Each structure stands twice: as C-alpha cells, then as structure tokens.
Structure 1
Amino acid sequence: MSQQLELLTENPTQWIAVSFVTPEIQKKEIKPFVILALKELEGTPDRRTSSLMSADKFAAVRAVVRHVARLRSEQKEGWNPDDVMTFLEGLRFSPESATELASLLCTEKMYDSIPLHMRTKPGLVSLQWKIDLSLSQANLSTSPQDTKEVLHRDTHIILLLKLTDGSSRTYRLSVSKFHEFRYVIASALKNMIVLEKRKCMRKD
C-alpha cells in the first residue's frame, strides 16, 4: 500500500455511514456536489445547499471532499489518481462516479482557495534520536563531580524527524529539554488513553 493510500484510508470506521449512500450517487451529481462542498470550505456557502433534495448524497460527497482537501497539504506531490480511485471504490462509489470524482480531487487548482486553517499540518512518519557528545580532554578535570557537570552541560540529544510531506527536521536539545520533551509526549499519550476509555468517545 502506498503512503498516499494509507493516509486516505487510515480511519475506515468514519466511512461506514457514507458507504451506504455512495452507490446511489450518479456521475452527473458529482461535479455540482463538489462545487458546493468547495464553496463551504472556502467560507462562502451557496444558498442552494440548504434546499437540496438529495441532502444525504451531498453530505457523502462533501465528507470525501473535506477529507481529501485537508490531507492535501501533507503531500509533497499531488494526489496519485490510482490511489484516489482505490480509496473511492472502497467507499462503494460506482466506477463512473469514482472516475469523475477522482479527476476533480486530483486537480491541483481545486485546493488554491481553501483557507490555510482548513488544511492539515504534515504528520510524523518516523523519529530517531542520537547523543551528541563533543568534549576535549582539557574540559575534564580530575574531580568526578566536575566531570559529571561537564558531561551534563556539553551533552545534547539530536532528534531526526521525517514528515509525511517528504521533508525532514533536525532539532538539538539539551539533556534536560529532552527529558521535558519525553514527559510531554508521555502525558499526551496518557490523556489520549483516558479519553478513549470514556463512553462519549466510543462508537457503537
């Protein structure tokens, strides 16, 4: 599975309701629905949206457009048409409707007017770290306590981050900042676990 397809399909449970409606969506309905969905994303909703006879079909297309548009900023390159088609076919769009929708979603111009706050920031693919220790013999005294202080002062942690948009980031932290970073991450994970156990976060 490609990285783009993995990103598009990372949360399959959110599409259960949508997949019940998509088989009924006709090719001729795709483009009008996409235009209306984009107007909403741009902050200029069309009045026709509130009076649509097939509101459930529009809601399904709108969910797909919002999902793909928000993930676009995580990609260094444009969407791969084959990956988008596979994603749409998995949502049970008919071949004709999937082809029409994929061609629109893979058009780069479509994303030009979407506000930056609607776009998702690049995600983390991998994180590696290593110890950077640069000491000269002259910095080390005969006192064990002084040696320990020098080691703590001159030792740094190098963080190497690879992001979903293909870019890389490198950060140099002191030992104390690295431990602070570990604590923040551990606290965030613990809070996520607590939230997931609450009834309001569970899907029946």
Structure 2
Amino acid sequence: MSQQLELLIENQLQWTTVSYVAPELQMKEIKPFVLLSLKELEGKPDSRTSSLMNIDKFAAVRAVVRHVSRLRSATKVAWSEDDMRLFLDGLKFPPECVNELVGLFCRDDLYENIPKHLRIKPGISGVQWKIDVSLSQNNIRNEMASAESVKEIMYRDTQVILQLQLTDGASYVYRLSLSKFHEMRYTIANALKSIIVLEKRKCMRE
C-alpha cells in the first residue's frame, strides 16, 4: 500500500455515512457539489448550498472534498490517480462518479485557494531511535568514576537519538536525555488515552 493511499483511508470509521449515501450519487451532481464544497473551504459559501434538495448527497461529497483538499494542501504532492480511484471505490461511489472525482481531485489548480489555516500539518510516517552511550562512557573514564557513581552517570549522560520522518518528506533528528525521553513517552501515552476516551463519546461519533 502506498503512502498516499494510507493517508486517504486513515480512520475508516469516519466514512460510514458517506459509504451509505455514495451509491445514490449521479455523475451530473458531482462537479456542482465539489465546486460548492470548495467555495465553503475558501470562505466564500454559495447561497445555493442552503437550498439544495439532496443535502445528504452534498454532505457526502463535501466530506470527501474537505479530506482530500486538506491532505493535498499539507503534503503538496499530486495525487496518484490509481490511489484516488481505490479510495473512492472503497467509499462505494458509482464508477462514473469515481471517474469524475478522480479527474477533479488530481488537478493541481483545484487546491490553489485553500486557506492556510485549514491545511493540516504533516503527520509522522516513520520513527527510528537508538541509544547513544558515548558521552556517558567518556565521562566515566574522565571522572574515573567509582562503581557507585557509574550508574548515575550512565542515566544522566546517556542520550536517545530520535529520528522522525514526516508525510511531506521532511526528516528531523532529536537528542534526548533518558529523563526527557521517558517524559515524552508519558505525555504521548496520556494524549492517546484522552483520544480514546473522546472517541467513545456519542457526540464524537455523530
């Protein structure tokens, strides 16, 4: 599975409603719904939106437009037609609607006017880490540390080298002390726990 497809299908539970409505869409509805959705994203809502008869269909297309547009603006990488087709097929859009949406979503000019405050930040695509004991070993030798202080020096001066790869291709390397590394792990674990609690609430699933 490509990285682009992984981004598109992330959090599949959010697409339950879209998958229910998508099969009912007709090709003639796709382009108007996409253009109306883009106007909303650009902060220029069209008055015709409030009078739409097929509001459920529009909401389904709007959800996909917002998802695809934000990811495209964040990664700045053109969509693969094959990946986009697989994503839309998975949402149960009719074949003719898939063709129409692929043609629209894979155009670079579609995303030129998306406001920066609506663009999502790149996500983490990979994490690598290793332990660096060179500083602690040097300090043990230089200080001619006793057996009692070796453990203290090892904990104090051992570093964790953390390398993060982002979805936009950037890579960052950080050096953390053991105490900071464990503090980071604790903070992330707490954040994940809070997310799980929120996702279980009814209001977050509607």
After TM superposition, is the score higher than 0.5? yes
Conserved? CA contact 2:160–2:176, under 8 Å? yes
Single out whichever of 121-130 and 104-113 deviates more from structure 2: 121-130
Conserved? CA contact 1:70–1:118, under 8 Å? yes
Residue 168 of structure 1, CA deviation:
1.7
Residue 33 of structure 1, CA deviation:
1.1
Residue 151, structure 1, aligned to residue 154, structure 2: yes
Single out whichever of 91-100 and 129-138 deviates more from structure 2: 129-138
Aligned length: 203
**1:56–1:121: structure 2 CA closer, same or farther, 3 Å change rule?**
same
AA partner of residue 175 (structure 1) = L
Where structure 2 has 5 or more consecutive residues not aligned to the other structure, the ranges are: none
AA partner of residue 124 (structure 1) = I
**1:15–1:142: structure 2 CA closer, same or farther, 3 Å change rule?**
closer
Select the structure that is richer in helix: 2
AA partner of residue 24 (structure 1) = E
Residue 50, structure 1, aligned to residue 53, structure 2: no
Rounded Cα–Cα distance in structure 2 between residues aligned with 1:30 and 1:94: 11
Conserved? CA contact 1:74–1:123, under 8 Å? no
**Counterpart in the other structure of 1:9:** 9
Residue 3 of structure 1, CA deviation:
2.0
**Counterpart in the other structure of 1:60:** 60
Conserved? CA contact 1:141–1:147, under 8 Å? no
Question: What is the DSSP-based 3-state SS (H/G/I as helix, E as strand, rest coil) of the residue aligned with 1:100?
Answer: helix
Residue 175, structure 1, aligned to residue 178, structure 2: yes
AA partner of residue 188 (structure 1) = A
Conserved? CA contact 2:125–2:166, under 8 Å? yes
Rounded Cα–Cα distance in structure 2 between residues aligned with 1:200 and 1:57: 22
AA partner of residue 159 (structure 1) = L
Conserved? CA contact 2:73–2:114, under 8 Å? no
TM-score, with normalisation over the residues of structure 2?
0.86
**Counterpart in the other structure of 1:113:** 113
Where structure 1 has 5 or more consecutive residues not aligned to the other structure, the ranges are: none
**1:199–1:40: structure 2 CA closer, same or farther, 3 Å change rule?**
closer
Residue 24 of structure 1, CA deviation:
2.5
RMSD (Å) for aligned C-alpha atoms: 2.3
Single out whichever of 152-161 and 47-56 deviates more from structure 2: 152-161
AA partner of residue 75 (structure 2) = Q
**Counterpart in the other structure of 1:30:** 30
Q: CA offsets per residue over residues 63-115 of structure 1, 9 Å max, x none?
A: 11011112224535211011111111222222211111111111111112111
Rounded Cα–Cα distance in structure 1 between residues aligned with 2:20 and 2:192: 34
1:179-198 equivalences in 2 (<5 Å): 179-198=182-201
TM-score, with normalisation over the residues of structure 1?
0.87
Instruction: Give the share of equivalent positions with the same residue, in percent.
Output: 63
Single out whichever of 151-160 and 38-47 deviates more from structure 2: 151-160
Question: What is the DSSP-based 3-state SS (H/G/I as helix, E as strand, rest coil) of the residue aligned with 1:8?
Answer: helix
**1:122–1:187: structure 2 CA closer, same or farther, 3 Å change rule?**
same
1:50-89 equivalences in 2 (<5 Å): 50-75=50-75, 77-89=77-89
